[in-house]
Amino acid sequence: MDRVTQEILDRLREINSVPRCSGHEERISNWLKEWALENGLNVKFDSVNNVLISVPASEGYEGLPVVVIQGHMDMVCEKDPDSSHDFSRDPIEQYIDGEWLKARGTTLGADNGIALAMALVLAKDKDLPHPPLELLFTVDEETGLTGASELMQDFVSGRLLLNVDSEDEGVFVIGCAGGSNTVIRLLLEYTPVSRGHVTYILNVSGLAGGHSGVDIHEKRANAIKILAKVLDTLFLEFDMDIIDIEGGSAHNAIPRHAEALIAISPDEYENVISMIRDIERDMRSEFHENDPSLSIGLAEKTGNNKSLSLGKDIAKRMLGLLMQLPHGVAGMSEDVPGLVETSNNIATISIEDNDLVILTSQRSSKEQGLAEITRRIEDISGSAGATTLNNSAYPAWQPDPDSPLLQRCRDVYKDTFGEEAAIEVIHAGLECAVIGSKYQDMDMISFGPTIKNPHSPDERLHIPSVLKVWAFMTALLASFS
């Protein structure tokens, strides 16, 4: 492995030793501040722990426009069901497998730790020519673009922004979808668990999951939707009590696991198992390409001390709500071939006190599309007697094909590699959308090394692509002379 790539991966390992789940970036923010001071660089931070590190221009590049290199500190903290990893204290265990960097049983955190690692290596290299730089590291991108949303007008001075948070090397992203979340609450009613019933855990597992923006078009199974189908089928056929339900982990992750606590008569056990096997077979057939390890299990729950279950009417309304809520692609773009225009992710489900709580995450590149899918969710929820609250909205980033920065990037990429970079608009959300709404004269582009399966324990970083992005980025910065 070449020296630069090794240095970047070593720096990523340091970053991955600091806990940084979304919403808990205090330690990584402090780590970055200390790093800047140790290296003699000016650093400032704001009330939400966004960090800005200023790097002086190289000799001969003084007086040029400031270039902002931007990434986010937080990571989606997902792990395998059998993993004992504690994200609040344990380092991410990264390792090399051929051309790929992976993690043992957890998300890798290359999304977006690799942006931090590359920026810090760049800042420390005294031999690289570049204009004055601002390294902008934001918090809580994954759960609501919070850091970008809280940026003050005077926090950043540069008006050329390189967002290093795209996941296909050789692709320049110049636009993205907007989005919002909806919290659905259904007030629950309880009744005693049926006499003589035995308690079981019904679980859906083994799914690929993935990013609800990047992977939503790939027809990956949603564990919450499959669990709802199983429960709905069993509820119609058997005298079944539903005691508890939970699933999913984050608004922008397709749920990989979901489970329900149910109670059935032991006399019906074999028939219930037979029906579960039939559904599992059908689901494996439907999702065989992307979710070959899909599994539906039923295991007796010992030591259960819950004596109440959902009343039959409220259970029926809950299952009707889950069955009707849309998941996946709702519409494709008429302007950009192959681009998902509108989608919804049924992201998490849980019971909190006396409420069933469901979180959905909507995306669309069109304001009308976002409003329509959100209204559909509101209407379905209202029909079931549930309330809705929409939050965490962010705008779409409208592409500017005439951007001077884009043209410079295209020229540099072709000069460096002898081939054209692809230009894309994506369905995932990027902080550029929010940053652009705050600094309306900001010229922006997004790129990055190749990352597969972000937001899942199968996340992996293509190591050779790191060097290509480094070569492009350093050539781009040198070109401003």
Euclidean distance between the first and the last CA atom of the chain, given in angstroms as a whole number: 30
Q: 74 an active-site residue?
A: yes
Contact predicate 346/362, CB 8 Å = no
Among residues 187, 211, 185, which one has the least CA distance to residue 391?
Answer: 185
Catalytic residue among 111, 134, 140, 141: 141
State the catalytic residue, choosing from 25, 74, 168, 458: 74
Structure tokens given for 437: 């709404």
Q: Which amino acid is at 415?
A: D
- 191 beta partners: 309
Q: Which long-range contacts (CB under 8 A, 24 or more apart) does 2-6 make?
A: 2/467, 4/121, 4/467, 4/470, 5/463, 5/466, 5/467, 5/470
Collapsing DSSP states into helix, strand and coil, what is residue 123? helix
Q: Which two tokens stand for residue 107?
A: 């998300």
Comparing CA positions, the residue from 96, 87, 105 lying closest to residue 28 is 87
Please, are residues 154 and 134 in contact by the beta-carbon 8 Å criterion?
no
Q: How far is it, in rounded angstroms, from Cα 54 to Cα 40?
A: 10
CA distances from 338 to 218, 333, 424 (A): 12, 7, 11
Both tokens of 432, joined, read 């550029």
d(C-alpha 451, C-alpha 235), whole Å: 41
Residues 6+ apart with CB under 8 A from 407: none
Q: Smallest Cα–Cα separation from 55: which of 119, 151, 10?
A: 119
Cis check for the bond before 16: say yes or no (omega within 30 of 0). no
Is there a contact between 173 and 164 (Cβ–Cβ < 8 Å)?
no
Are the C-beta atoms of residues 34 and 88 closer than 8 Å to each other? no
Distance between CA atoms of 355 and 28, rounded to whole angstroms?
34
The number of CA neighbours under 13 Å toward the Cβ of 169 is 20
- Beta strands 355-364 and 178-187 are antiparallel
Distance CA 61, CA 69 (A): 17
Rounded-to-integer distance, Cα 158 and Cα 413, Å:
22
The span from the CA of 480 to the CA of 67, in Å, is 10
- 140, 423 contact by CB (below 8 A): no
Encoded tokens for 234:
């069993």
Alpha helices by DSSP H, listed for 287-338, are 312-324
Catalytic positions are 74, 141
